[in-house]
Chains A and B, each alone.
Chain A
């Protein structure tokens, strides 16, 4: 399959900007150029789809609950710190 008016160097430029494109961080003109290119270039469209899906999978990754014994340990740690009165009183700085 050939694509008229298709310039492969355009594909390379687009490859660099694909994350900004899917994040909506390009200016209107750059985004419109890419949108136009994508309708005529199946290779770049596949690149966009797989990159978008990679992001979607990261966003969809389920969170895990905090183990209850660790949560209890944290609560104890806080209580100890409060008892020692260290909060905000020490002169140390990072």
Chain B
């Protein structure tokens, strides 16, 4: 199963939200059923921890339940939902640790003057994707994503895993599209470095 590509359509949840806000509160269960899987995986990717992912889903739905009547249709429900989930995640981290997270300067990823640069792509960049992405690599990739500093991690997960566009991600995180692009690029470069390390040290043949 692959992650969805960015979508551009009308809000497919509008009818359901409308029904709930018009008094069919019982249908809130439909909303939970519709989004629990995506939110759970969003939580797993942000935290790489089952308990934290479950907490994120639960807190997010409680917030949605309390504030759904304030939801305005100018944004898609899904984007509003992820905005709440993202805030839950950020608050959670602030509660657990106060150390400022590091920035990832672009220079850190640039090759130095005298570095010998590869002329051919490494095996991991050309092997068929479905053969490459086994259980072990999936687990390693999850760890590496979870290890990114939060502001990069949120952008990478929203853009490259959840499939939101640059504009949508900017709206969800309340930052500028230019900022989304900067964080995404650095987050991807950090992940790429982590993957290089993983493949350089992987003793098992392909």
Residues of chain A touching chain B, judged by Cβ–Cβ distance below 8 Å, are 1, 12, 15-16, 18-20, 23, 25, 42-43, 45-46, 49-67, 70-71, 73-75, 77-79, 81-82, 86-88, 90, 92-94
Contacts and interface: CB of A to CB of B under 8 A. Distances in A.
A88 B114 CA distance: 63
Contacts of B2: 59-60
Given A19-B184, A54-B188, 8 more contacts: A25-B166, A42-B120, A43-B118, A57-B137, A57-B195, A58-B141, A88-B25, A93-B67
B27 to A, nearest CB: 10
Contact of B161 (A52, A59, A82): A59
Report, as a range, how many residues of chain B touch the other chain.
35 or more
A94 B86 CA distance: 14
The dominant DSSP class at the A interface is helix
Interface string B80-114: 00000001000000000000000000100111000
The dominant DSSP class at the B interface is helix
Contacts of A50: 121-122, 124-125, 192, 195-196
Contacts of B142: 61
Contacts of A64: 40-41, 44
Q: What are the 5 closest A-B residue pairs judged by CB atoms, nearest first?
A: A88-B69, A19-B185, A58-B160, A49-B121, A43-B117
Contacts of A74: 32, 36, 57-58, 61
Contacts of A16: 106, 185
19 contacts: A25-B166, A43-B111, A43-B117, A45-B121, A46-B122, A49-B125, A50-B125, A51-B189, A53-B129, A60-B2, A61-B3, A61-B141, A62-B138, A65-B37, A74-B58, A77-B58, A87-B20, A87-B25, A87-B66
Interface of B: 1-3, 20-21, 25-26, 28-29, 32, 36-38, 40-41, 44-45, 50, 54, 57-58, 61-63, 65-70, 87, 106, 109-111, 117-122, 124-126, 129-130, 132-133, 137-138, 141-142, 145, 156, 160-161, 163, 166, 181, 184-185, 188-189, 191-192, 195-196
